[in-house]
Amino acid sequence: MAGFNDAPLVRNLAVPAVCLLIAFLSCFSQYIFHYSTLDPGPPSRTETVVFNTLLLCLWCSYFKAVAVDPGRYVFPDQVIEAEGSWCKKCSAPKPPRAHHCRHCGRCIPKMDHHCPWTRNCVSMTTFPHFLRFLVYANVSLWALGKLLWQRFYALWETRHLPAYLGPTLGGLIALALTSLVCLFTTLALGIMLITTVKTWLFNCTMIEGWELDRHEAAIDRGGRDWWDITGPDGEKFRFERVEFPYDIGFFANMAQAMGTSNVLLWFFPLAGNPTVGKDGQGCGWTWEENGFNRKEGMWPPPDPEKIRRAARTWPAARRDYEAELRDANLSPEEEKRAFKERQEQDARRRNMLFAELEEVDDYDIIDEVDDSDDAYDRDDMDGSPGWMNSDGERLRDYGVDEDAEDADADALHDDGDDDEVALGELLRRRKVLQRDDDA
């Protein structure tokens, strides 16, 4: 899955390829069943009706998995500050379980992953359709497999007869080709169905599963459940084991994901899906927790290795936002003097950095965990190490924009610190506040 979404050919041809595959397995197989010399002849009327009904449900659910909007957050008023997580790309609050998708370009409610085969995010609104698509696809493949098995069994029963009394060579080639495509498609979609059903039962998205694996790896590296870490601001941060809070019981999990507790509607292809609540309340904005943690809102757990790495950053690299805000209103001459001062400061910072790099090996901690399956990748695309699971996957492989993800900073700056807010955003906030004061 790593890097699969980034391939231009996959992005452009994935959906047409899926449609061609469905058409091939559905139409070509029925053609050879009805017009070839393969025994036991054409399928019965009941078999034909059942198979084509499954195909109709498959097409309908796949269309919805592709076409339904993955959800968006609409804020009733302009938000300049908010408690909790903040998306730097959207310049807006980020509700729990939401992630910024780098393909969709916005925060997606309860994002599971960005699926290349639907060219859409599997999210709170699209998950029911995605699950129905996988269910109908697998059941249709099983029905097709039964029909193919009947033809192979008939060939085995007549294996002692002369070849000229059996089916034509073209019919045998078509049967073999269809069977191979059906077999590999069944294996691939079967794995996807098992993974998706697990997500459904435990109410844990693929991204949250990745975060849970990272948290367990951090616990194992720490050797104990609790220890104190010095954050970038110099304050002690207490790292602790966090239980996954959104598993509220298997039936409640399934009903929440499908948007209804009516079991009859769960697999009805024309059924609806959950929608994002309005005015900052309701579905998609808040999520029920199981109460296993000492307080709510502790998910996702921060990565202590990332916090330690941020704390080792040389102090002179921290931005002076007050000075930047003052510089925004300087005259041209004052701007020149301020620019020269910044140049001198940058030179001093570079000298400090080079001195520290000569004395400290930034990868000492990473080398200690390279023997495990879960390690930090030194060769990250943006040049910084990042955690990978045992399958070699990172958050970006699920479609998440890692530049917009800063859960560790959010956990450390719940007091409203603006260290991660861009200067333009600070200026905009100040203008809004000034207008409010004038009014």
Q: Is residue 115 annotated as part of the catalytic site, yes or no?
A: yes
Annotated catalytic residue: which of 101, 107, 115, 283?
Answer: 115
C-alpha–C-alpha distance, residues 183 and 124, integer Å: 31
112 Rama class: left (phi>0) / alpha (psi -120 to 50) / beta: alpha
* Residue 139, both tokens: 């059941």
C-alpha–C-alpha distance, residues 62 and 19, integer Å: 9
Residues 120 and 127 sit within 8 Å (Cβ to Cβ)? no
DSSP codes of every residue in 35-63: HS--TT-SPPHHHHHHHHHHHHHHHHHHH
Beta bridge partners of 238: 228
**């333009």: which residue's tokens?**
424
Contacts of 238 (CB under 8 A, 6+ apart): 226, 227, 228, 229
**Closest C-alpha to 244, from 185, 183, 202:** 202
C-alpha–C-alpha distance, residues 268 and 134, integer Å: 13
* Residue 390, both tokens: 């045992």
Q: Torsions phi, psi of 436, nearest 5? A: -65, -40
Q: Which sign does the torsion angle of CA 306, 307, 312, 315 carry?
A: positive
Beta bridge partners of 236: 230
Q: Please calculate the CA angle 320-322-323 and round it to the nearest 5 degrees.
A: 70
Q: Which residues are catalytic?
A: 115
